[in-house]
């Protein structure tokens, strides 16, 4: 589910859902620049070209690199200016997920009632936490928490971060734009994911929780249940 939120005039997020259950992605257009919706659409259009028989990690890296170059070319055209998008994408195959990201779009794993953030934000504030200059609790409300250090289209070259996540039946995977965790903190996210009977209900309740909290940004969520084949 994706929603423009309570404040923004338009939704610059874009999502990719795969009926086969293999490929999923959330792209979030950078609100500080123009044409964020174009950038996020380019990211999703590029990821959509991944074929079923491609190596997951290599394919995700290649398509996001391609999207980076396309966005850079588009931004150089008259009347466009700089634009970019954060992204989190997952390919699920053979009881594991290959997850790629750039920026502060996130992936969470709910397993046996416990929630774990499996991505690592590319932001100024996260860098401060990593250096021990700021506590994780203070980071949630830091005034520069929205300042990202990496995005598709942000620079001439893109360093895609990639992890392999083993999965077991009963796991629930959440992909989201930063509009969700800015409004709904992790204990509440865990509660909603753990109590929702279906992924559809979980998506609805997560977005509604963000809206109830004011939703100053666009909010996009994808929830995937891992089941026995």
Tens-place pLDDT, residues 95-123 = 999 999 999 999 999 999 999 999 999 99
Q: 10 Å Cβ neighbour count for 121?
A: 24
Res. 32: pLDDT tops 70: no
CA distance 185 to 187: 6
User: For residue 29, which phi and psi values (nearest 5 degrees)?
Assistant: -60, 135
216: CATH: 3.60.40.10
User: For residue 87, which phi and psi values (nearest 5 degrees)?
Assistant: -155, 145
Among 29-33, 93-97, 161-165, whose mean pLDDT is lowest? Answer: 29-33
pLDDT confidence of residue 33: 65
Contacts 24+ apart (CB under 8 A), 139-144: 140/185
* Residues making up the chain, counted from first to last: 229
In this prediction, residues 156-165 reach a mean pLDDT of: 97
Count the domains in the chain.
1
How would residue 144 be classed by pLDDT, with cut points 50, 70 and 90? Answer: confident
pLDDT confidence of residue 206: 98
Q: Do residues 46 and 67 lie in contact, with contact meaning Cβ atoms separated by under 8 Å?
A: yes
List the domain range (segments joined by +) for residue 167: 2-225
Its pTM surpasses 0.85: yes
Q: How many CA atoms lie within 13 A of 166 on its CB side?
A: 1
pLDDT confidence of residue 126: 87
pLDDT confidence of residue 141: 73
Sequence-separated (6 or more) residues with CB below 8 Å from residue 64: 43, 46, 47, 87, 89, 100, 102, 152, 158, 160
In this prediction, residues 36-57 reach a mean pLDDT of: 96
């Amino acid at each position: 589910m994706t929603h423009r939120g309570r404040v923004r005039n338009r939704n610059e997020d874009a999502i990719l859902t795969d009926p086969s259950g293999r490929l999923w992605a959330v792209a979030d257009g950078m609100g500080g620049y123009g044409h964020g919706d174009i950038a996020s659409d380019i990211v999703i259009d590029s990821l959509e070209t991944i074929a079923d028989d491609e190596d997951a990690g290599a394919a995700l890296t290649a398509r996001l690199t391609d999207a980076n170059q396309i966005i850079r070319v588009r931004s150089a055209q008259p009347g466009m200016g700089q634009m970019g998008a954060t992204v989190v994408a997952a390919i699920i195959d053979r009881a594991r997920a290959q997850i790629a990201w750039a920026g502060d779009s996130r992936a969470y794993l709910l397993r046996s009632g416990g929630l774990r953030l499996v991505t690592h934000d590319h932001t100024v504030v996260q860098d401060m936490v990593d250096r021990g200059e700021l506590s994780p609790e203070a980071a949630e409300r830091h005034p520069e928490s929205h300042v990202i250090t990496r995005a598709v289209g942000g620079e001439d070259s893109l360093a895609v971060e990639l992890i392999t996540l083993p999965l077991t039946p009963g796991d629930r995977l959440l992909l989201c734009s930063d509009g969700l965790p800015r409004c709904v903190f992790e204990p509440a996210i865990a509660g909603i994911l753990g109590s929702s009977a279906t992924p559809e209900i979980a998506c609805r309740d997560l977005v509604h929780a963000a809206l109830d909290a004011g939703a100053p940004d666009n909010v996009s969520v994808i929830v995937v249940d891992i089941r026995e084949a």
